[in-house]
Amino acid sequence: MSGNGGWFRNFLNRAGSGFRRFMTGRYGTDQLNTAILIVGVAICIVAMFIPSAIVKLILTTVSYSLMFWAVFRTMSRNTYKRYQENRKFRMLIDRIKDRDHRYYDCPRCRQPVRVPKGKGKIAITCPKCREKFIKKT
Ligand SMILES: [Zn+2]
């Protein structure tokens, strides 16, 4: 009962397993990749409405570079590094969303320290290395 559609389903199965084999050990996609692609496509759309040829060329180049970067990250076998990039990106987004706090990196050990906003000048003590530093919040 396979009929005429049989070869096509067979083809899809083969293509699917081929793709799965190709992607084995590769990183795949994540939030950072999605963001890169959205920005890349947005720049590409903006470039279409720019009359200046030079600006259009620059924007198109940036847009293609971003999309290439996203593809490169998806195909990457260095999954640990890609995972770390995505983790940093998500931390950055969390910081931007958090309007009640400011974030400082400890000058000694680079540990990020979160402090409440709008308190004026305060002395911050690093929770990791006990280094004290003064910042305006
Ligand atoms: Zn520290």
80 C-alpha to center of ligand 1: Å?
A: 25
Per-residue pLDDT of the chain (137 residues; tens, 9 = 90+): 555 678 999 999 999 999 999 889 999 999 999 999 999 999 999 999 999 999 999 999 999 999 999 999 999 999 999 999 999 999 999 999 999 999 999 999 999 899 999 889 999 999 999 999 999 88
104 C-alpha to center of ligand 1: Å?
A: 10
79 C-alpha to center of ligand 1: Å?
A: 29
123 C-alpha to center of ligand 1: Å?
A: 13
112 C-alpha to center of ligand 1: Å?
A: 8
108 C-alpha to center of ligand 1: Å?
A: 5
107 C-alpha to center of ligand 1: Å?
A: 7
For residue 103, the surrounding DSSP H or E stretch is: strand 101-105
pLDDT of residue 1: 54
3-class state of residue 62 by DSSP: helix
Q: How far apart are CA 44 and CA 34, in angstroms?
A: 15
Tokens of 74: 């998806």
Check if the beta carbon of residue 133 is closer than 8 Å to that of residue 110: no
Which of 126, 19, 32 minimizes the C-alpha distance to 86? Answer: 32
pLDDT of residue 3: 59
Using CA atoms, how far residue 3 sits from 10, 12, 22, 71, in Å, is 12, 15, 30, 38
How does DSSP assign 63-112, residue by residue? Answer: HHHHHHHHHHHHH-S-HHHHHHHHHHHHHHHHHHH--SEEEEE-TTT--E
31 C-alpha to center of ligand 1: Å?
A: 29
